[in-house]
Structure 1
Amino acid sequence: MDWSIVKFGKYKNRTLPQIIFEDADWFFWAYKEGALQKWLPKYEVELIYKRATRIKPKDGCYVKHFLYTDGTSWGFDFIPIDEAEKKLP
């Protein structure tokens, strides 16, 4: 699929898939405010939103989120539940 390029704001010249992996918080904020639907094709915005809100870990796993020091998302991975529980205090 050829994704539209964002032509405004903090993530100008990026696509929605690039943005959701770089800064999911910004994407969800912009979605809630209606900024994305105003400037980008609605089907692209809704597809990314639908996919981003339906990420499910594999059976027996948790999702581990990686964040930059400023709190923005770096990505995620799946880790086994028993491994995650070993790291609990």
Structure 2
Amino acid sequence: MQFSANVKLQRVHHGAKMTLQEDKLGYSPEEAAAVMGSGRTNIFRAIKNGSLKARKFGRRTVILRDDLKAFLETLPEKKVA
């Protein structure tokens, strides 16, 4: 996988860790999963059930940075016991 030079990418086991970049407008589902620390399946499930907006550019699926951020903000907060 190739990412732009200003994206912090660190290989971890089978996945990758990334940070949400303010200068990056859109992410592939794989990049969005890496930002969230999740898997592709969870991203596509969220797109399918309508909780995460995605756009198509030809055959590519693109998730806008603001849509990913809005989706993350809708997730429930972890309660401290």
Structure-1-length-normalised TM-score: 0.28
Look at both structures and tell me which one has the larger radius of gyration over its CA atoms.
1
Give TM-score, length-normalised by structure 2.
0.29
